[in-house]
Amino acid sequence: MTTPISPLSGAGGLSGLTGLTSTPATTDATGTTGSGFASVLGGVVDNLSGLQNTANTLAVKAVTGDLTDIHQATLAATRAQVTMDLVSAVRNKGVDAFNSIMNMQA
């Protein structure tokens, strides 16, 4: 007999990351199309910085005894760590892609 697996409650996926909305494609002077990758990347880095600041603030409150629910600090620290891992993985894939392109022979 199999038991059904219930969905995770409270797991919102990547909804906490700002700056990941799709932007309309624009054409620059060279005729190439871009979707504002630099602005999206900047938004994600700003969001990461905000998450790390929140985690640090809550950690200080937890140490000083001003935080009544330690789970808030734990969740904030985990959220910042997972986001940092995601940004690092995207960076690594970007560097790998750049290196692959540079190693191509014409």
The predicted-structure confidence for 57-79, as pLDDT tens digits, reads as follows 999 999 999 998 999 999 999 99
Is 4 a member of any domain?
no
Is 92 a member of any domain?
yes
Is 81 a member of any domain?
yes
Is 75 a member of any domain?
yes
Range of the domain at 78: 35-100
Is 94 a member of any domain?
yes
Is 18 a member of any domain?
no
The predicted-structure confidence for 76-104, as pLDDT tens digits, reads as follows 999 999 999 999 999 999 999 999 999 99
Dihedrals phi, psi of 42, to nearest 5 degrees: -65, -40
The distance between the two most distant Cα atoms of the chain, rounded to a whole number of Å, is 63
Is 19 a member of any domain?
no
> Percent of the chain having pLDDT more than 70?
66
For residues 9 and 101, what is the distance between their CA atoms, to the nearest angstrom? 42
For residues 53 and 76, what is the distance between their CA atoms, to the nearest angstrom? 9
Dihedrals phi, psi of 29, to nearest 5 degrees: -65, -25
Low-confidence winner among 37-46, 51-60, 67-76 (lowest mean pLDDT): 37-46
Is 29 a member of any domain?
no
Q: Which two tokens stand for residue 80?
A: 């910042």
- In this structure, are residues 51 and 69 in contact, taking their beta carbons and an 8 Å threshold? no
Report how many domains make up the chain. 1
